[in-house]
Structure 1
Amino acid sequence: MVNGAPAGGPTTGGRRQRETAMSGWFRLTLGLLAVVVGAVWTVQGLGYVEGSVMTGQRIWAILGPALVLVGLALLWLGIRARSQR
């Protein structure tokens, strides 16, 4: 401790807040991307989007909603990280 400042220095708390904010944005971005891609995979797997190798393939109708759920979890974590600033 120097002059009443913690050993990590006066900027340690600020750096931690920036890292939390950045990880929040990163999670939000990945979450949104996962939701969009998962939704596209779902409609392709169900046969609503034509002209793709994935059209009408049951596996994409299963993986799509799973990816949407992962994306929603990432969105929730990102919002939570952003609100803790």
Structure 2
Amino acid sequence: MPMRRILTLLGALAVLMGLIWMGQGSGYFPYPASSFMIDQSPWIAYGAGLAIVGMVLIAIARRSGR
């Protein structure tokens, strides 16, 4: 598997995980109900940071393909 695909996959997973963390931290995605992350505002920032890292990885992967 070429490096470009690996970076794209890791970036996409990071964006998805970041969105889930943001949803749990804001209370919009309260699953599982026993999660310690629900309605905890620091997880919104952590999720945003992870999503940004994922977008950077995707951008690097797209540039490396040229």
TM-score (norm. length: structure 1): 0.69
Question: Residue deviations 1:13-52, cap 9 Å, x none?
Answer: xxxxxxxx71111110100000000000001000111212
Number of aligned pairs? 63
Aligned to 1:68: 51
The structure with higher relative contact order (CA 8 Å, sep 6+) is 2
Match of 1:41 among 15, 21, 38: 21
Unmatched 5+ stretches in structure 2: none
% of aligned pairs identical?
33
Q: Which segments of 5 or more consecutive residues in structure 1 lack a partner in the other structure?
A: 1-20
What RMSD, in angstroms, separates the aligned Cα atoms of the two structures?
1.2
Secondary structure, counterpart of 1:55 in structure 2? coil
Deviation above 3 Å: which 4+ runs of structure 1?
Answer: none
